[in-house]
């Protein structure tokens, strides 16, 4: 295990989380690479060399091959003075390659970038389209299943504690079995939250499954927000556990509920919903959504026990009390859920047209079923139970069990959604997406300059990018310089920088940009209007 890397990863995490003024130490810089960016080589190189203007410590170097998959590298990079050397496997097949690097300079400032080269005499003859690589899919599925198990356990324990305090009005747990139930689901929730850190790291590094035992994988995971979520969930659940057994019942109830709420609200720390702008809206809304859901789902097993154990009158009283609290909770849940969905999806078109939208619709369907069951409990069975109708308890037990089943399916769909990209355009810009056959077309109107961009075919492999600059009156605008940066943060691909060449008045072009992976790429275009005036445009570019 390399402690240096771990240390830097933690430091990097702190920087990413916004403790630091961005870019304040912009000192180290890449001076040159071997092979050159864009070089076409007759023979495959044995290594790539990156020369910096000062000594650096490598964090990660990744190479993507002509098939769009990451190339397994024979060894870690070594640094001698200002040169970073990354050995390559022998006999790389012909085709285009992308090298993505990230290093820390001696002043602890992390910097990264990408460059490309091709092997073979012909220009980069890329590439096939395709799904994420097998290994990436493996990490993603593992993270998804872990998320489902963890979320379910978390909702059961945290929601159960809320139900215990608010509905049953009793702490500590009235019997040992309930204590064991909380202990078991709480333990699963914490273990899963911790495992999520390793899986997040594994997904980023995209190594073999055994990398989960590697310290560097965990260090990479620790540099993501998932680590903060794990920390908040664990602390919240431990606090809740302590609160349950405090001698002072009032203080105990307060601590237990606060801990449970913190543990659940931690979902707002990570994930693309939490990252969706505006964050001030997305994050609190997500918290309310999760806490309300936890209360509902976590209450169900406790209610099941009440219906089974208690006499009809007591059970009816408890159920009515629960309904009184559950109704506002469901309203909060639905309102927050709709709010998140609107921000994430935006249009009806996207709701039906994207994978994310369709899974969301499926989730919504199960939510409606769940609501129907809950309404039946409240409107039909509970009054029957109060009248000590014989069939009531049996019917209630059956519908509560069904509710638990549906809730689990909903959580599974939620975990799948969490690992599906919603593909919404960047906030605050006016995008017009073309059909995939037309590539990607978008337009952003700035203060005094409008940029129209077209990327063909917006697919894995070689892409052509053209831009058109116009002023407020629609006339063409000439730029001194235009450059574009392509990055894919989700796959750890650092910015690949390309200069555009002028093809006509106000139109610029890059012939061949090699994009090795599918996903939502971040595209930043910088237009230099005069020596002293620059405009920056940012796009989210879906690559299929």
Partner 1 sequence: MVRRSIGAAAVGAALLSSSLAFGHVTLEGAEAPAGSYYKAVLRVPHGCAGSPTIRIRIRIPDGVVDVKPQPKPGWEVATVVGKLAEPYADHGRTVTEGVREVSWSGGRLDDAHYDEFVMRVKLPNRPGEVLYFPTVQECERGVHRWIEIPETGRSADDYREPAPAVRLVPKR
Element holding 502 (H helix, E strand): strand 501-504
Size of the site for partner 1 (CB under 8 A): 31
- Asked if 287 and 270 touch (Cβ cutoff 8 Å), the reply is no
Q: Which of residues 78-117 bind partner 1 (CB under 8 A)?
A: 107-109
Q: Which of 54, 349, 438, 471 binds partner 1 (CB under 8 A)?
A: 54
Binding flag, residue 53, partner 1 (CB under 8 A): yes
**Pairing, β 501-504 against β 493-499:** unpaired
Q: Which of 19, 80, 250, 474 binds partner 1 (CB under 8 A)?
A: 19
* 315 C-beta neighbours (distance < 10 Å), count: 22
- Looking at the Cβ atoms of 329 and 469, the one nearer to partner 1 is 469
- Looking at the Cβ atoms of 4 and 328, the one nearer to partner 1 is 4
Shortest Å, Cβ 496 to partner 1 = 16
Rounded distance between C-alpha atoms, residue 149 and residue 143, angstroms: 10
Residue of 449, 463, 452, 448 whose CA lies nearest to 430: 452
CA separation, residue 352 to residues 87, 209, 519, 541 (Å): 46, 35, 20, 20
Binding flag, residue 8, partner 1 (CB under 8 A): yes
> What are the φ/ψ torsions at residue 94 (nearest 5 degrees)?
-65, 150
Q: Which of 7, 40, 334, 441 binds partner 1 (CB under 8 A)?
A: 7
Q: Which stretch binds partner 1 (CB under 8 A): 47-55, 84-92, 185-193, 380-388?
A: 47-55
DSSP state of 70: B
Binding flag, residue 4, partner 1 (CB under 8 A): yes
Residue of 85, 2, 15 whose CA lies nearest to 48: 85
- Looking at the Cβ atoms of 208 and 534, the one nearer to partner 1 is 534
Shortest Å, Cβ 108 to partner 1 = 5
Q: Which stretch binds partner 1 (CB under 8 A): 7-15, 41-49, 390-398, 470-478?
A: 7-15
Rounded distance between C-alpha atoms, residue 205 and residue 134, angstroms: 14
- Looking at the Cβ atoms of 50 and 226, the one nearer to partner 1 is 50
**Pairing, β 110-119 against β 39-41:** parallel
Binding flag, residue 26, partner 1 (CB under 8 A): yes
Q: What distance lies between CA 229 and its chain's CA centroid? A: 12
- Looking at the Cβ atoms of 37 and 310, the one nearer to partner 1 is 37
DSSP state of 128: -
Binding flag, residue 280, partner 1 (CB under 8 A): no
Q: Which stretch binds partner 1 (CB under 8 A): 242-250, 346-354, 496-504, 526-534?
A: 526-534
Q: Which stretch binds partner 1 (CB under 8 A): 113-121, 211-219, 315-323, 528-536?
A: 528-536
Q: Which stretch binds partner 1 (CB under 8 A): 8-16, 188-196, 245-253, 400-408?
A: 8-16
Residue of 373, 285, 406, 403 whose CA lies nearest to 337: 285
- Looking at the Cβ atoms of 314 and 536, the one nearer to partner 1 is 536
- Looking at the Cβ atoms of 82 and 452, the one nearer to partner 1 is 82
Q: Which of residues 353-392 bind partner 1 (CB under 8 A)?
A: none
Q: Which of 5, 30, 152, 465 binds partner 1 (CB under 8 A)?
A: 30
Rounded distance between C-alpha atoms, residue 463 and residue 542, angstroms: 13
Binding flag, residue 499, partner 1 (CB under 8 A): no
Shortest Å, Cβ 58 to partner 1 = 15
Rounded distance between C-alpha atoms, residue 115 and residue 124, angstroms: 13
- Asked if 242 and 236 touch (Cβ cutoff 8 Å), the reply is no
Token pair of 347, please? 């249009």
Q: Which stretch binds partner 1 (CB under 8 A): 22-30, 139-147, 161-169, 325-333?
A: 22-30
- Looking at the Cβ atoms of 52 and 117, the one nearer to partner 1 is 52
Shortest Å, Cβ 430 to partner 1 = 17
Rounded distance between C-alpha atoms, residue 198 and residue 195, angstroms: 5
**Pairing, β 83-87 against β 78-80:** antiparallel
Token pair of 351, please? 């709701």
Rounded distance between C-alpha atoms, residue 455 and residue 95, angstroms: 21
In the complex, the residues that contact partner 1 under the rule CB under 8 A are 3-4, 7-8, 11, 14-15, 19-27, 29-31, 52-54, 107-109, 528, 531-534, 536
């Amino acid at each position: 295990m390399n402690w240096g890397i771990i240390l830097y990863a933690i430091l990097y995490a702190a920087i990413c989380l916004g403790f630091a003024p961005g870019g304040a130490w912009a000192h180290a810089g890449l001076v040159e690479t071997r092979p050159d960016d864009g070089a076409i080589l007759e023979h495959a190189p044995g290594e790539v060399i990156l020369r910096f203007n000062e000594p650096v410590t490598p964090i990660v170097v990744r190479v993507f091959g002509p098939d769009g998959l990451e190339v397994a590298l024979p060894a870690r990079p070594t640094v001698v003075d200002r040169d970073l050397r990354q050995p390559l496997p022998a006999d790389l097949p012909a085709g285009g390659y992308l090298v993505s690097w990230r290093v820390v300079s001696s002043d602890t400032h992390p910097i990264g970038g990408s460059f490309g080269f091709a092997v073979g005499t012909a220009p980069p003859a890329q590439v096939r389209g395709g799904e994420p690589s097998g290994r990436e899919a493996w990490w993603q599925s593992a993270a998804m299943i872990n998320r489902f198990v963890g979320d379910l356990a978390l909702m059961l324990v945290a929601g159960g504690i809320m139900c215990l305090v608010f509905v049953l009005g009793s702490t500590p747990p009235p019997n040992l079995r309930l204590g064991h139930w909380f202990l078991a689901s709480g333990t699963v929730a914490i273990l899963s939250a911790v495992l999520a850190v390793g899986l997040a790291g594994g997904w980023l590094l995209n190594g073999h499954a055994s990398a989960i035992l590697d310290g560097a994988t965990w260090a990479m995971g620790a540099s993501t927000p998932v680590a903060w979520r794990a920390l908040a969930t664990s602390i919240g659940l431990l606090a809740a556990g302590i609160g349950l057994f405090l001698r002072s019942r009032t203080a105990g109830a307060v601590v237990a509920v606060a801990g449970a709420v913190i543990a659940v609200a931690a979902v707002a720390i990570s994930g693309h919903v939490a990252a969706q702008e505006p964050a001030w809206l997305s994050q609190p809304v997500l918290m309310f959504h999760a806490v309300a859901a936890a209360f509902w789902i976590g209450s169900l097993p406790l209610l099941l026990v009440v219906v089974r154990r208690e006499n009809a009158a007591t059970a009816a009283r408890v159920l009515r009390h629960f309904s009184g609290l559950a109704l506002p909770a469901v309203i909060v849940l639905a309102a927050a859920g709709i709010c998140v969905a609107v921000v994430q999806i935006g249009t009806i078109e996207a709701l039906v047209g994207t994978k994310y939208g369709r899974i969301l619709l499926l989730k919504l369907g199960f939510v409606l079923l769940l609501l129907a069951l809950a309404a039946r409990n409240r409107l039909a069975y509970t009054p029957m139970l109060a009248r000590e109708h014989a069939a009531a308890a049996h019917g209630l037990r059956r519908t509560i069990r069904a509710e638990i089943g549906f809730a689990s399916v909903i959580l599974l769909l939620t975990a799948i959604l969490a690992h599906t990209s919603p593909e919404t355009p960047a906030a605050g810009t006016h995008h017009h997406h073309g059909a995939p056959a037309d590539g990607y077309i978008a337009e952003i109107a700035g203060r005094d300059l409008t940029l129209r961009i077209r990327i063909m075919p917006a697919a894995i492999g070689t892409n052509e990018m053209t831009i058109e600059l116009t002023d407020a009156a629609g006339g063409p605008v000439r730029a001194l310089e235009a450059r574009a940066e392509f990055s894919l943060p989700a796959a750890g691909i650092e910015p690949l920088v390309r200069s555009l060449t002028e093809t006509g008045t106000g139109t610029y072009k890059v012939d061949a940009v090699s994009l090795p992976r599918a996903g939502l790429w971040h595209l930043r275009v910088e237009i230099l209007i005069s020596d002293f005036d620059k405009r920056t445009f940012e796009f989210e570019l879906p690559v299929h």
